[in-house]
Copies of this chain bind each other. A is one copy, B any other.
Amino acid sequence: MKIKYSDLLKYIEKIFIEYELSKLHAKISAKYLIDADFSGVPTHGIARVSMYCMRIKKKLINPKPKIKIKKISPSIFHIDADNSIGMVAADIATDLLIKHTKKNGIILVGVKNSGHYGMSGLFAEKAAKKGLAIWCYTNAPPFIPPHGTTKPLFGTNPICFACPTNNIDEPFVLDMSTSSTNRGKLQYALKIGKKLEPGMAFDKNGNPTIDPIKALNGGMIAPIATYKGSGLAWMIDIISGVMTGANHSGKVKDPYNDLSGPQNVGHMFIAFKADIFLGNNYKKRIKENIVTVKKLPKKRNLLKVCYPGESKSKIKLKNKKNGVVVDPKILEDLNKTAQAVGLTIKI
């Protein structure tokens, strides 16, 4: 059964409101999670609602945060998210970037005391649709062993970059973890009862495993490209964690398994006007760039070369029209979360 966007949005909003999020924060949070599902990334979507609600119940996420925005210079802002749900802090940061790049050209926003914010690419997409080139960085709970070590410490720390293309509705959005897979994919595999591809993950003793439980319980995953991925993950831990005042060096808490306190995730956002150097010429040149790549000879059986984010944009458009199929286990989990606070509606 396919579920419509508006139905799912209303349902998740209601759940979040019952868990004491304000109407605005419930709407923002629900929208980003559902957009992940509708973009074909269910690992970072509504599958995580029960986790967020569990952490609110345990007072590890603050449903009514007093988010402080400190203006350090006309180009630099520091946000203390007061342990808000991550999507709210990241959305505020994105709006700051959009507002202030108009005047100052380039804006830097550091965020501390935040939480898991879902799918980076959605914030980047929002900014790129307003003409910005943007990087979104966030650290995450320990899962990658630093190069040369045997214990997980860095998170799957994603690099996300976006910029406008000649089609304003379909920006270039690169959104990649610096690890060979990510926690969301393991959790999703666990939730729907799938095994992992070999080589992805290791158990707590460093032995290869295809069992998501073993990988998630004290296990680890390899960074991309050995020392290079480790270096990138370290860079992101420094800029998102060390520099902003958030947790770092393995201290960001696992949102599922570590209930000893708020996560204190850190994010860093940098954005500038993509056409700052070239004006209207930018649009012409990015089109030329993309067309050139698309015209290259393709690998056997490949019909089309896409730029990062392109197929997600198309999938989202299509899904918004037709609805999405949600895995029954994810739905069951959602309904349980709703019932736990007395919501009688189901989806």
Please state if A110 and B277 are interface contacts (CB–CB under 8 Å): yes
Please state if B239 and A133 are interface contacts (CB–CB under 8 Å): yes
Q: How far is the CA of A159 from the CA of B224 in the complex (A)?
A: 14
User: How many monomers of this protein are in the complex?
Assistant: 2
Please state if B296 and A161 are interface contacts (CB–CB under 8 Å): no
Interface residues as binary, A190-228 with B (CB distance below 8 Å gives 1, 0 otherwise) = 000000000000000000000000000000000011001
- Whether a CB of chain B sits under 8 angstroms from the CB of A8 is no
Q: How far is the CB of A176 from chain B (nearest CB, A)?
A: 5
Please state if B242 and A276 are interface contacts (CB–CB under 8 Å): no
Please state if B174 and A235 are interface contacts (CB–CB under 8 Å): yes
- Whether a CB of chain B sits under 8 angstroms from the CB of A237 is yes
Q: Which residues of B contact A161 (CB under 8 A)?
A: 235
Q: How far is the CB of A303 from chain B (nearest CB, A)?
A: 10
- Whether a CB of chain B sits under 8 angstroms from the CB of A278 is yes
Within 45-79 of A, Cβ neighbours of B (below 8 Å) are at 72-73, 75-76, 78
Known: A150-B296, A242-B282, A277-B72. A289 touches B248 (CB 8 A): yes
- Whether a CB of chain B sits under 8 angstroms from the CB of A263 is no
Interface residues as binary, A283-309 with B (CB distance below 8 Å gives 1, 0 otherwise) = 001101100110011110010011110
- Whether a CB of chain B sits under 8 angstroms from the CB of A262 is no
Q: How far is the CA of A277 from the CA of B110 in the complex (A)?
A: 8
Q: Which residues of B contact A149 (CB under 8 A)?
A: 293, 296-299, 305
Q: Which residues of B contact A145 (CB under 8 A)?
A: 296
Q: How far is the CB of A294 from chain B (nearest CB, A)?
A: 9
Q: Which residues of B contact A242 (CB under 8 A)?
A: 282, 285-286, 289
Q: How far is the CA of A156 from the CA of B163 in the complex (A)?
A: 21
Q: Give which listed residue, B106, B180, B302, contacts A108 with CB less than 8 A.
A: B106
Please state if A174 and B278 are interface contacts (CB–CB under 8 Å): no
Q: Which residues of B contact A298 (CB under 8 A)?
A: 148-150
Q: How far is the CB of A12 from chain B (nearest CB, A)?
A: 30
Known: A105-B73, A224-B228, A297-B150. A249 touches B174 (CB 8 A): no
Q: How far is the CB of A177 from chain B (nearest CB, A)?
A: 8
